[in-house]
Amino acid sequence: MAKNMKGEDKDMGKVAIYPGSFDPITYGHIDIIERGLEIFDKVIVAIAENEEKRSLFSVEERLRMVKSCFKDTSNVIVDSFKGLLVNYVGKTNAKVILRGLRATSDFEYEFHMASMNRSLNTQLDTLFMMTSKDYFFVSSRTIKEVARLGGAVEGLVPDLVVRRLKEKFKLPVPKKRRIGWDD
């Protein structure tokens, strides 16, 4: 039986890695994960720790939000990684990188990344899923921008993310909703 870099058996079902910043997680991401689960037995959501990229939420905060969204879904694993994605993938049982495509503007970057990753590891493929019609305009960046200016992002991100955004931007949060990170 094939072994991965850790010496673990690789034939343990179909596993995909869904890497990204998730700063914060949106329903666009969740839609890709849920559709990924129709194809794969397990999806590993891998939050990139990128010191070069300024994020609104710390890695710990992002981990907690994503874990909270999938607390009842045992086949979604949430983790973070530093450095090259291909190195992280090698430590798991995944053979596929899952990515979402929103617009043609995503394509060029994604095409280069997928080609580079395949050049670094020829065993690794990237699977792209087209965004759903309800979320094609949703990105973490626009969500943060709108939330910062006090606009409504309900319905585009989970309620717990709406609350965290309001807290970050010091906007009023209904009292009864001021509850723990993992609610």
Q: Which two tokens stand for residue 8?
A: 């673990």
Instruction: Please identify, using beta-carbon distances, which residue of 22 and 166 lies nearer to ligand ADP.
Output: 22
Residue 140 is a catalytic residue: yes
Determine which residue in the list 15, 16, 21, 81 makes contact with ligand ADP, applying CB under 6 A.
Answer: 21
The answer to the question of residue 34 lying near ligand ADP (CB under 6 A) is no
29 binds ligand ADP (CB under 6 A): yes
Collapse the DSSP code of 125 into the 3-class scheme (helix H, G, I; strand E, B; otherwise coil) and give the result: strand
The whole-angstrom separation of Cα 103 and Cα 84 is: 25
Residue 22 interacting with ligand ADP (CB under 6 A): yes
Backbone angles phi, psi at 59, to 5 degrees: -60, -40
- Going by C-alpha positions, the residue among 104, 156, 126, 168 that lies closest to residue 19 is 126
Active site residue 175: no
Q: Give how far Cα 64 sits from Cα of 37, 48, 81, 161, Å.
A: 20, 14, 15, 10
Rounded CA-CA distance 139/153 in Å is: 11
Paired tokens of 73: 């879904």
Site string for ligand ADP, 77-106 (x = CB under 6 A): ----------------------xx-x---x
Write out the E strands in the chain.
15-20, 42-49, 76-82, 96-101, 125-130
Compose the 133-162 pattern: x for residues touching ligand ADP by CB under 6 A, - for all others. --x--xxxx---------------------
State the nearest-atom distance from the C-beta of 20 to ligand ADP, in Å: 3
Cβ proximity to ligand ADP: between 10 and 102 the closer is 102
- The single residue of 53, 133, 175, 176 carrying the catalytic annotation is 53
State the Cα–Cα distance between residues 120 and 85, nearest whole angstrom: 10
Residue 29 known to be catalytic:
yes
- Minimum Å gap between C-beta 19 and ligand ADP is 7
Please answer whether residues 174 and 164 qualify as being in contact, where contact means their C-beta atoms are separated by less than 8 angstroms: no
Catalytic residues: 29, 53, 102, 140
Site residues for ligand ADP per CB under 6 A = 20-22, 26, 28-29, 32, 99-100, 102, 106, 131, 135, 138-141
